[in-house]
Structure 1
Amino acid sequence: MSFVVESGSEVIVKQGVYMDWRKLLSTTRISSTDKSPGSAGDHRTEFQRDWDRIVFSTAFRRLHDKTQVFPFPEDDVVHSRLTHSLEVASVGRSLGTKVGESVGIVDHAPGVTPSDVGNIVAAACLAHDIGNPPFGHAGEDALQRYFKLMEVGEALTPRQLSDVTQFEGNAQGFRILTRLQFEEYGGLRLTAATLGAFLKYPRESGADLKDLGGQASKKFGAFQSEMHVLEQVADELGLHAYHTVEGGRGWMRSPLAYVVEAADDICNAILDLEDGARLGCLSSSTLDSVLLRVARASAGFKQSRYEAFVNPRDKTGYLRAQAIGVLVGECAKVFVDNESVLLMGTDLQPLVALTPYRDALRELAALARDKCYRHPPVLERETAGYAAIAGLLELFIPCVVSVEPAERGSLESRLLDFLDQRTLLQLCPPGDKYGRVLRVLDYVSGMTDTYVAERYRKLTGMTT
């Protein structure tokens, strides 16, 4: 339930009712269709089954060849999106379980254990980057920029146009989970609880909604094609809604989305820099000096043990483990201290920003920005990826939005045949420009770094 007040051109939620943990931890499975493949009961919990469905999906498997920060050829131990996602899920399981214990979840939602909360968070963490295009944020930029320059606006509604000009990996991830994987049956059919934890930005696109829901509306989390599914999730979980007089719709986050965000923030703050130190972008001693400020708060930390390590990488690894443990504990405390605020649907800063170690984390973020994200090989690879993605869109999009049938034997007809064999473009009639554009985006954004470069070279005649 929510109350609304008008403010200029906006209608804003004024929360007055707590969200209910029993609804927030719903095991109802969400689908974009009414079909179901059926499932036999087994020894796993519903939330363990969510984890397994994500792990065995092809979209998750592709993350092995999607860059986290550093190109793989530089070192075969640096993180890919796959290893990053697994590590975020590991941290998320610990943090979620601790939160479940600390808020006394068994009293709020009978039959649910702290381990269940950990498994919900872990599954959502596992999928948190599943919609990222190749080359990460550079890939997102390439997709957005193409549509800002391309004349497709007349064929799309304003919000459909916003979907593509502001292409968002979070929305693509929601589309993958609720539609594209096992499309005949409406996606992976994950529980509402896991999808709620996954939804960092539970709103549709549109400038009228930006910042209206605070942290939850900085970006958008569902394309127009999946808004009916987002409504299903929000209704099932009892999320607080907000909307604008222009018709824009959004919801405040599930409290567990803050836990997923914290697990990702912890890993981003530390592990990208660990890769950077391995590649010589910064010294291990520089990284260790900041990590020590956090790690020393761990009950298990021993200075003598840290100093006994000979290999600098082992020293950093020891500090990383201790620091993550400290941050998990502190984020759990922040969550418990703000539980009532979160259940009211009130906007809250990221959990890590409310810990006593926020200054150290900001310093780590600045180091990553200066020493890692601007590393020449990173910039080179992102630039090459940007060109490949833009080049493929320049080939494909004019073909699928053209109002004139492609002449037989023309380049356009060959490209359409190519797409028909590799996408479900045939499900979208020629008049459905939005659907056809999304099918191209599904194909290109789903490519791995290696595959998008290889496809671009072949289709443009650079290689045969």
Structure 2
Amino acid sequence: MSRSPLAADPARSRGREFPGTSDETRGPRSAFQRDRDRIIHSIAFRRLRSKTQVFVAPEGDHYRTRLTHSLEVAQIGRVIARALGLDEDLTEALCLAHDIGHPPFGHAGEDALDNALTEHGGFDHNAQTLRTLMRLESPYCTHEGLNLSWEVLEGLAKHNGPVEAPHWALAELDAAFPLDLGTWPSLEAQVAAVADDIAYDNHDIDDGLRAGFLELDDLLTLDFIADQWREVERRFPHAPRDRQLRELVRGQIGWMVNDVLAHTRASTKGIEDRAQIAVSDRALAGFSPAMHAAERRLKAFMYAKLYYHPEQTATAEKANTVIVQLWDAYCEDPSRMGSRWADSLPAEEPHRSRHIADYIAGMSDQYALERVREFFGDAPGDLSNV
């Protein structure tokens, strides 16, 4: 596939926050390849293996975590980027890093930290991704953070499009290294965002069916899924049901990817340079209007049937309690965080509370549960709902 003139060019990157710090002797890699590798080698990325995707602290090892989800997003993103002639390395880096700011227990943990920081600016997982990569994850001797390229940081900051009212964490980082928050990001960033939607829409169906929280008959009330299912039955009438269901998920992904390719090619027709992407009045890479409407219906279904399933809600409440208990424990006795974090605890608010939130946000699900058991003797009920 030839390279599109709209692809981000690592040789023309807008640079890094801390210039002059790259060690070019460590292999012949482009700026975006270095970014991807820094992300993969980070502690924050490794911790994703034990962070909730849909199911909190699952007992089964077949369910997705934030790590496996991020890998699946990267696979879908690379396919789309390659077909469109975009920079695959930038796309992959964005896909791999997009969930690094999630605290333990997913959105339940995020809600708990947001409430704890009500008087200190709140908590936002997307802003926390930037905060982690730019300030907290610091393996280098010469600067804070991973010192990723501007294009990676911009794409992560604008994962959901232009940002008109940045969260305090993002505002602080933008002041230090401006990311043009009011404009659209690169096509690679837009591809990473839609790859995220494709991955979790369809892989959450897979996990929901496997766990018994979703029923096929309910899914087939969505006409576009029913169409896919009829095609699966036509092609593989004698296959076992579990294989047919996995074929259904694969078919859904392919259907969505092909729609993104067709719509993006049509949307970018007549766009001659990357500067036009930034000032567009809409995303140029993404679903067609018809697919967008279908995907909204699917999301509404998933919220009703899976994400807000009574068992999921009950587990989320217990997870919320774990974070509240940890918050209270560390506020009461910061030494429980260990010397490195306790010794660097700011004396004044809001920095003090934000420091504690940084510590909790970095935890895996299991580490958070272990600390609650250590401090209080037990966790609030069984948190495994599968």
Which TM-score applies when normalising by structure 1? 0.70
Report the Cα offset of residue 93 of structure 1. Answer: 0.8
Distance in 2 separating the partners of 1:22 and 1:278: 39
> Which of the numbers 135, 138, 144 marks the counterpart of 1:182?
138
Extract unaligned runs of 5+ from structure 2.
380-386
The match for 1:358 among 274, 288, 292 is 292
Mapping of residues 42-61 of structure 1, within 5 Å: 42-61=27-46
Q: Given the superposition, is the C-alpha separation of residues 454 and 65 from structure 1 closer, same or farther in structure 2, using an over 3 Å criterion?
A: same
Q: What residue number does 1:327 align with?
A: 256
Taking the TM superposition and a 5 Å limit, the aligned residue runs for 1:338-349 are 338-339=267-268, 340=271, 343-348=277-282
Q: CA deviation at 1:371?
A: 1.6
Give the structure 2 partner of residue 388 of structure 1.
322
When residues 218 and 362 of structure 1 are mapped into structure 2, their CA distance, relative to the original with a 3 A threshold, is farther
**CA 1:461–1:323 in 2, change beyond 3 Å: closer, same or farther?**
closer
Q: Secondary structure at the match of 1:73?
A: coil
Partner of 1:14: none
Could you tell me which residue of structure 2 aligns to residue 417 of structure 1?
A: 335
Quote the Cα distance in structure 2 between the aligned partners of 1:350 and 1:382. 36
CA distance in structure 1 between the partners assigned to 2:284 and 2:360 by the alignment: 31
SS in 2 for 1:358: helix
Report 1:365-404 matches (<5 A): 365-397=299-331
Q: Deviations over 1:388-412 (max 9, x none)?
A: 1112222334xxxxxxxxxxxxxx5
Q: Tell me which amino acid in the other structure corresponds to 1:127.
A: A
Deviation of 1:351 after TM superposition, in Å, equals: 5.3
Matched, 1:139 2:139: no
The correspondence of residues 218-237 of structure 1 with structure 2, limited to 5 A, is 220=167, 222-231=169-178, 234=179
Q: Which residue of 2 aligns with 1:109?
A: none
Residues 1:65 and 2:50 are matched in the alignment? yes
Superposition deviation, residue 381 in structure 1: 2.3
Counterpart CA distance in 1 for 2:11 and 2:221 is 40
**Structure 2 residue 61 is matched with structure 1 residue 76:** yes
Q: Partners of 1:354 and 1:177 in 2: how far apart?
A: 32
Unmatched 5+ stretches in structure 1:
1-18, 101-113, 154-160, 203-213, 242-249, 398-411
- Cα displacement string for residues 50-109 of structure 1 (whole angstroms, at most 9, x for unaligned residues): 222211211111111111112343532111111111101111111122222xxxxxxxxx
**In structure 2, how many angstroms separate the alpha carbons of the residues matched to 1:127 and 1:177?**
9
Q: Measure how far apart 1:451 and its partner are.
A: 1.3
Deviations 1:88-138 (A, max 9, x none): 1111111122222xxxxxxxxxxxxx4xx1221111011111100111111
The answer to whether 1:455 aligns with 2:368 is no
Task: Work out whether residues 194 and 287 of structure 2, in 8 Å CA contact, stay in contact via their aligned partners in 1.
Answer: no
Match of 1:156 in 2: none
Alignment partner, residue 309 of structure 1: 239
1:296/1:347 Cα in 2 relative to 1: closer, same or farther (>3 Å)?
A: farther
2:157 equivalent to 1:199: yes
Amino acid at match of 2:353: V
Report if the CA contact (8 A) 1:71-1:377 is conserved: no
Following the alignment from structure 1 to structure 2, what is the Cα–Cα distance between the partners of residues 356 and 187? 41
CA distance in 1, matches of 2:62, 2:308: 20
Partner of 1:265: 197
Q: Does 1:284 find its partner at 2:197?
A: no
Query: Matches of 2:20 and 2:366 in 1, distance apart?
Result: 35
> What CA distance in whole angstroms lies between the structure 2 residues aligned with 1:199 and 1:296?
37
Task: Provide the rounded CA distance (Å) in 1 between the counterparts of 2:305 and 2:60.
Answer: 17
CA positional deviation for 1:283? 2.2
Structure 1 residue identity aligned to 2:262: K
Contact 2:185-2:277 within 8 A present in 1 as well:
no
Bigger Rg, which one: 1
> Whole-Å Cα distance in 2 between the matches of residues 375 and 55 of structure 1?
33
Partner of 2:358: 442
CA distance in 2, matches of 1:342, 1:294: 38
Matched-pair identity in %? 31
For residues 234 and 261 of structure 2, what CA distance do their matches in structure 1 show?
A: 29
Partner of 1:205: none
Aligned partners of 1:66, 1:363: CA distance in 2, in Å? 27
CA apart distance, 1:427: 4.2
- What SS does the aligned partner of 1:362 have? helix
Amino acid aligned to 1:323: Q
Tell me which moved more, 437-446 or 86-95.
437-446
TM-score by length of 2: 0.82
Asked if the contact 1:85–1:125 (Cα under 8 Å) also holds between the matched residues in 2, the reply is yes
Paired residues in the alignment total 367
Q: Is the 8 A contact 1:215 1:347 kept in 2?
A: no
Aligned-pair CA distance for 1:454? 1.9
Distance 1:196 1:147, change over 3 A: closer
Q: Give 3-state SS (helix, strand or coil) of 2:117's partner.
A: helix
RMSD, matched Cα? 3.3
Q: Distance in 1 between matches of 2:57 and 2:69?
A: 13
- State whether residues 138 and 385 of structure 1, in contact with CA within 8 Å, keep that contact through their aligned partners in structure 2: yes
SS of 2:236's equivalent? helix
Mapping of residues 241-260 of structure 1, within 5 Å? 250-260=182-192
- State the AA in 2 paired with 1:30: R
Contact 1:216 1:347 in 2 (8 A): no
Q: Which residue of 2 aligns with 1:99?
A: 84
